[in-house]
Structure formats: structure tokens, C-alpha cells
Amino acid sequence: MVDSTKKKIIVRKTQFSDANMINDIVQKCYPGVPPYSLDALKAQINHFPEGQIVVEFDGVVIGFCITFITSEKEGLKPHTWKEITGGGYASRHDPLGSYLYGMDICVDPAYRGKKIGERLYNERRKLCQKFKLKGIIFGARIPGFAKKKKTYPTPELYVEAVKSRIIRDLTISFQMRNGFNPVLVMKDYLPSDHESLGYAVLMRWDNPLIDTQGNRHYSEDQKDNVRICTINFEQRRISSFEEFQSIAEYFIGVAADYRCDFVVFPEFVTMSLLSIINRKLDPVQSLEHLGQFTEPFIKFMNEAAVKYNINIIGGTHMVRDSEGLMKNVCHIFLRDGAIHTQDKIHPTPSEKEWWDVRGGDKLSVINTDRGPIGILICYDSEFPELARHLVDQGAKIIFVPFATDTRQGYLRVRYCSHARAIENQCYMVLSGNTGNLPRVQNMDINYAQSCILTPSDFPFAKDGIAADTDPNAEMVAIADLSIRDLIKARNNGTVMNLKDRRHDLYSVSWNGK
């Protein structure tokens, strides 16, 4: 009789929930090396889910590998680990590339000698052959170099001695036995690797099944057309929360009738609830009054997302956090019932003055059934680093709920958002307020023209505007956005802003939590 309870080794794709176990292995293998941030691990999966693999034993991850696809031009020239991996985010994944790049591979020391590493290398070979790539490349450490430097003063001489089997290197000799060949020595690949004195050797394995004369066509596993509905929302005096709910539900229903995947509300969407009292309130009174609607607002939007089968970008609502600090928070309600939040990173001077709003310190993509998305609240769109950080994590659509009182303020948000769309080759979706709230301080007048913006290239609208509303008119704009067109533009466009970044000169490094 077979014992079905016997513990098994499972090789599978990496999941977001594996993050802590992966970082536990990193700490065991490389003490003192900073672990991957959660954003970086999410980004790796978002960019190339097939390339992220773990080995699991009895429910615990005991080994992992991180890979992405790169072009022959980029992969086979000298580079550093930070440059080629986009700072650890795998943001330079090129779906039209020809080599699989091994970004990292680790096995829990307690399970070494059980061929866990061999399983991971075999999975990489299968992946390479599945996508009909020319081969696998990666930067390999040379941990014996520092000790042998007197005998072999240059890394090239050291590697040549390893190739000739005069000496043995723990890493290079192992890789050569597994069919990888040294290509070139790379300086400053990992400056923190003191055993290798910062050097690495580019190793290459050639795919024996590749047809070097054939053409490979790669279609990324992404949802292609995404239908977006953005609302030019009128702020008006209302008499009850039920009236606010009725207005919001009307627009959610309209978007659902048009089979939209997302419907977008503006910044400060709930401010009309302050008009219920019908008298001016000082800032403290305003926030106390608004706070009583937090739970009803979240409950209503959450239920509406499920009821209408649509993902709702719920605009923003003022929320006091656990430390008593006031935050301007965007709630994202997914149609599977999940709720996510994103704090505004940069409060405007008026928000600080009127409500003492504090900025958040986290900016992460949100994974939806239509791919990873990002949120930049109004003023945040005017800081290029934030959009780049989201795109590095895999975002292809960024939503911008905003509130502006003048045309000049509106154009700052719009022009900056369009710049973000061009420089990151992504879609930007803006939703703003119209109308007036005379008795609500700091929200008495509004100006908006909600829109859906695209990069500026041949696959997109000639003016880079997929759809927009009339200025200061309550209405919606709806557009279908092609993820495939975005991928094509990023990899074969007239210009390729993401691909052409000088990773050797600059990068965005996130210091937040």
C-alpha cells in the first residue's frame, strides 16, 4: 500500500505569499545582504510570472530562482547586476528578447546536497526551451578570486586557470559541469561581493533545440483589452448619505452596463457629505463629521464592486490612521471582494494647512484580474519618480484621482500625467471634480476634464488621448486600452523610453517602507 502522507518536493511558480520564506533563504545564504522588498518580489512576478520558481517541501519554500528575458545586445555586453535587473525589480524584462537571464538562485543551506539547485536549473532549461530562446545567461560569482589574487593577479587569469582545470572555483567549476561556459569577466557586477572583489563571470548555456534560422514570436501572458470608465464627477449639495450613494451607484451601473473593467472616481469624492449639515465647519469639525461616513462608504463601495462585477477606484476619502494622523486615502475595491488602499504621498500645501494631512510612505502596485495597476493621487502625478517606481513593479495602467480648483491647477496634473505616460510608456487615467460646494472649505470651486491618456506613438491615438470629457461637465469617458500595443511600443516603438534608460548612470531607489 502506498503511503499518501509521505512528504513531497514540489516545484511550482512563485506566489506573492512566498515573499517572507524567500527572504528567509536570502538571509541564510547571504548574511547581512538586504532582503528583497515586497515590491521587488511582486514586480518580478508581474513582469514575468513564468520565470519565478520555488521548490517547496512540506509547505515550506526551500529554494527559489528569479529569471527574466533579455535581448542579446544587452545581455551579452558587460553590465552590473543592478543595471541588468533594473535594481532587482526585473523591470528590464524584454518579452522579445532572446536569452533567459538568471537573476538569482538560492537554496536553503539545510537542504543542500539534495539536488534542489539542480531542479531549479532544470526548470530554467525547460523555460528557455518553452519560449524558444537561444540560451541562458547570468553573472556568476568567483568566490575564490580574493584568496588567489597573488597567484592570479587579474580575474581573467583566474578564470582561465579554472577553465584549464588548474584550480577549482566553487561557483564557476560547478557551472561548467552543468554545461555553462564563461563568456567574459564583468567588473563591479556586485560591489558588495568581497570574496569575488566585485567581479563576476558572464556564463552562457546554449539551447540545443533552438532553430537559429527561425523567427520566434512571443506573446506575453497578459489580459489584452482593458475597458476603462472615468467619471467627471459633479460635487453638489446633498441631504443624506443615501443620496450620495444613489449618485455614485448610478455611475457604477453605467460603467457596468458598458462592460467596463474599471470605473474611476475623483479625489475627495466624499466631500459632498459635508454639505449635509448645510453650514460652514472649521477644519476639525469637518474631519469629525466626515469620519462618521468612513465605514458606510467602504461597505457600500465594496458591495457595489461585487454586485456590478467591476473594479472600482473609489476616489479618495480622509481617514485618520492608527497613530492619529490624517491621511488622504484612495480605496480600491476589486470585484472579487478584495479592498486595497493607497495613501497620497505628497499632500498639497492647502491640504497641510486646512487639515494637517500627512503623506504616506508606501507605494505598491495592486494586482487585479486585469493586471497590475498603480495609484497616484493628484499632486503625486507631478513627481516622476513615483510613476517610474510603479512601472518598475509592473504597472501598465496608473489611475490618478485628482481635485483642482482652477484651470492652471488642472493642467499641471494633466500635463505631468501625459509626461508620465510618455516616459514610462504606460496608460494614465484621470478622474476629477466639477461643480461647487460653497459651504465646504477648500472645496468651494472645482475645475476638471477627466481623461484617459496614452503614450505618443503609432499604435495609439494621434494626440495621445484615448478619451476625455468636456471641461466642467458631469459625464464619463470610456476607452478600450490594449496591453499588447503597450508591450509592442515598449519593445519596438519609434522610441523606447523604458528600454533606452541609462541604468549605468541613474535609477530610482525607493527608501520608503
C-alpha span between 12 and 53 (Å, rounded):
6
Helix (H, G, I), strand (E, B) or coil at 413: helix
Q: Which helix (H) or strand (E) holds 27?
A: helix 19-29
Residue 68 near residue 92, CB atoms below 8 Å: yes
Q: Which of these, 337, 341, 310, lies nearest to 328 by C-alpha position?
A: 341
C-alpha span between 462 and 417 (Å, rounded):
17
C-alpha span between 457 and 499 (Å, rounded):
15
DSSP-assigned letters across all residues of 2-23:
--TTS--EEEEE--GGGHHHHH
Q: Please, what is the angle between helix 241-257 and helix 294-307, to 10°?
A: 20
Q: Which of these, 419, 338, 438, lies nearest to 376 by C-alpha position?
A: 419
Q: Point out the catalytic residue in the list 83, 123, 267, 382.
A: 267
Active site residue 160: no
All three cell numbers of 197, joined, read 572583489
Q: Which of these, 458, 361, 461, lies nearest to 418 by C-alpha position?
A: 461
All three cell numbers of 47, joined, read 513582469
- Helical segments of 331-456, H only: 349-355, 384-392, 407-424
Within 10 angstroms of residue 234's Cβ, the number of other Cβ atoms is 17
Q: Please, what is the angle between helix 384-392 and helix 407-424, to 10°?
A: 40
Active site residue 344: yes
Any residues with CB less than 8 A from the CB of 367 and at least 6 apart, and which? 16, 42, 46
User: Is 108 exposed, middle or buried (CB count within 10 Å of its CB: 0-12, 13-18, 19+)?
Assistant: buried
C-alpha span between 470 and 222 (Å, rounded):
32
C-alpha span between 511 and 513 (Å, rounded):
7
Q: Point out the catalytic residue in the list 42, 327, 344, 396.
A: 344
Q: Point out the catalytic residue in the list 65, 128, 330, 378.
A: 378
Q: Which helix (H) or strand (E) holds 117?
A: helix 116-130
All three cell numbers of 132, joined, read 524558444
- Helical segments of 201-268, H only: 241-257
Active-site residue set: 267, 344, 378
